[in-house]
Amino acid sequence: MSEGSITSVVPEERWGELNHDDLTRYSRQLLLSEIGIEGQRKLKGAKVLVVGTGGLGAPLALYLAAAGVGTLGLVDFDNVDISNLHRQIIHGTRDVDRPKVASARDRIRALNPLVNVVTYNEPLKSENALDIISEYDVVADGTDNYPTRYLVNDACVLLGKPNVYGSVFQFEGQASVFYAKQGPCYRCLYREPPPPGLVPSCAEGGVLGVLPGVIGMLQANEVIKLLVGGGDTLTGRLLLYDAWRMKFRELKLEKDPECPICGKHPTITKLIDYEQFCGIRHNQDETSVESISATELKRRFDANEPVQVVDLREPHERAYFKFPNAKTIPLGQVIRRKDELDPSIDTVFVCKIGQRSILAVRNLRAAGYQGKLMNLLDGVQGWKNEVDPNVKLI
């Protein structure tokens, strides 16, 4: 067996029996000797959990359903937004404002009614992750945030499940298989998350619509190989993809003997508080960075109280909504343009959801700025929620 190769993770007693509909629908796949009747039976008996039905989860779920995976679990607690549709192809315009798991379920059933779809319209948390994941053979991680990513990894390690990983940002994507029984886990690569706000989300930094399609399909490919058995999986390898330059690169990953969860002497033996671990709780941010609510900022505007607002968003974000009374300084220019700020007046930083502004405050403090600095809590999204519901966001 070559490096990265693996036997099927589907127990033999669950291999499904193929009927006429199966033989017809999957006929082109059955012709492949690496899959054949036996492989298709494994797919039919398999259970795969897709965490997130967004940019990565959309192609993942569709291709796994099309391939004949018997049971697909879908975890997501978000609703479809029109800004999702350029990349989340499992949803349509008529699904806007619907729960994503409901929209995804309907699309999968339309594509392949032979698939059993189980939906979890709730966030994956420490309290429910082990119970949910234990029911599945493989977990496909389509998340876009660090707390859930580490949660999925740790739960998979504790339960002995393979975790098919993908991530995207702007034009770049990554994919791997983290399976502690066979190789490294996610913590072997990234033991701890970056500081909050250092790495912007796709909502803040953008993403090319086809990129998650490419990475999601690579994940689906890895899931199928794990279920059928054989082939070289991405276990122990990190695949890097640059869509703009059309380049693939590969990094070899080694299991870290000091890994806190899958190493020789693990210190993590149960699930933890992942929001606290990743440092993104509002109350923690507020103790280190003072925040102001949108309602309070509006009151200060109306009372003509002195305050200088700095909008950190990029030009394409401001094209949809120009924040009132704001000076525009992109995050990367804040330090060298700090002399444009008046330290005798309170400064409020604004971004889309309140992460870049926290980083700006911390960077300015480190640079020795003496004036009072505040973060607009929840950013422009907070302004939309509390002050002006007509604000358009991208």
Active site residues: 202, 351
Q: Taking Cα atoms as reference points, which of 4, 11, 7 lies closest to residue 44?
A: 11
Q: Confirm if 330 and 200 have CB atoms less than 8 A apart.
A: no
Structure tokens at 298: 């509006």
**Secondary structure (DSSP) of 347-363:** EEEE-SSSSHHHHHHHH
Q: How many C-beta neighbours within 10 Å does residue 85 have?
A: 15
Q: Confirm if 117 and 72 have CB atoms less than 8 A apart.
A: yes
Distance CA 117, CA 110 (A): 12
Q: Which residues of 186-224 are buried (b: 16+ CB within 10 A; e: fewer)?
A: bbbbeeebeebbeebbbbbeebbeebbbbbbbbbbbbbb
- Residue 328: strand pairing partners: 311
**Secondary structure (DSSP) of 72-111:** EEEE--PBP-GGGTTT-TT--GGGTTSBHHHHHHHHHHHH
C-alpha torsion angle, residues 154, 158, 159, 160 (rounded to 10)? 90
Structure tokens at 121: 């319209």
Q: How many C-beta neighbours within 10 Å does residue 33 have?
A: 7
Q: Confirm if 47 and 135 have CB atoms less than 8 A apart.
A: yes
Orientation angle between helical segments 57-67 and 100-111, nearest 10 degrees: 30
Q: Confirm if 227 and 137 have CB atoms less than 8 A apart.
A: yes
Q: How many C-beta neighbours within 10 Å does residue 323 have?
A: 23
